[in-house]
Amino acid sequence: MCHVKITTIRSPETEKYYLRVFGGFLLLFLNSFCSYSQNLYDLQHSRQYAEYLTSSHQYKLAAEEYERLVFLDSSNRVFKYNLVKSYRLAGDFNSGIRRIYSFYGRYEKNMPASLASEFVKLEMLTDSLPVVDRFTALNTTLPEKERTAFLCLRMLLEGKYEEAERIADDARQKYSSFPTGIVHLTKEADNIRFKSPFVAGAFSAVVPGTGKFYTKNWADGVFSMIFVAGSAWQAYRGFKRHGSKSAYGWTFATVSASFYLGNIYGSVKAAKRYNKNRKDEINNQVFVFVNSDSF
Separation CA 45–CA 37 (nearest Å) = 11
Helix locations, 41-112, DSSP H: 43-55, 59-72, 77-89, 93-104
Share of the chain above pLDDT 90, in %: 55
Model confidence over 25-34: pLDDT tens digits?
A: 555 545 544 4
Share in percent of the chain as helix, strand, coil (round to 5): 75, 0, 25
What per-residue confidence (pLDDT) applies to 19?
A: 53
Residue 127 resides in a domain: no
pLDDT tens-place string over residues 28-71: 545 544 444 444 457 888 899 999 999 999 999 999 999 999 99
pLDDT tens digits, residue range 143-169? 999 999 999 999 999 999 999 999 999
For residue 57, tell me if it sits in a domain: yes
How many angstroms separate the CA atoms of 17 and 23, rounded?
A: 10
- Return d(Cα 175, Cα 17) in angstroms, integer: 78
Query: What pLDDT is attached to residue 8?
Result: 46
Reported pTM: 0.74
Question: Does the pLDDT at position 284 exceed 60?
Answer: yes
Inside any domain, residue 289: no
Residues 6+ apart with CB under 8 A from 198: 268
Indicate which CATH number applies to the domain containing 91. Answer: 1.25.40.10
The pLDDT of 252-276, averaged and rounded, is 83
For the purposes of burial, counting CB atoms within 10 Å of the CB of 141, is it exposed (0-12), middle (13-18) or buried (19 or more)? Answer: middle
| Pick from 31-35, 42-46, 87-91, 126-130: least confident | 31-35
Is 136 contained in some domain? no
Residue 7 pLDDT:
46
Mean of the pLDDT values across residues 187-206? 91
* DSSP assignment of 118-146: HHHHHHHHTT-HHHHHHHHHH-S-S-HHH
Residue 224: C-alpha distances to residues 197, 236, 249, 255, 272 (Å): 17, 18, 20, 12, 18
61 domain residue, yes or no:
yes
Domain total for the chain? 2
Domain that holds residue 66: 42-121
Domain end marker among 99, 121, 143: 121
The answer to the question of residue 100 being in a domain is yes
Boundary (domain end) residue, out of 121, 136, 169: 121
Does the residue 36 lie in any domain? no
What radius of gyration, in Å, describes the C-alpha atoms of the chain? 36
Residue bearing the bigger pLDDT, 19 or 68:
68
Q: Which of 64, 95, 121 is the last residue of a domain?
A: 121
CA distances from 173 to 131, 144, 180 (A): 29, 14, 12
Is the residue at 73 inside a domain?
yes
Q: Which has the higher per-residue pLDDT, 102 or 37? A: 102
234 contacts 253 by C-beta, under 8 angstroms: no
Phi, psi of 195 (to 5 degrees): -95, 140
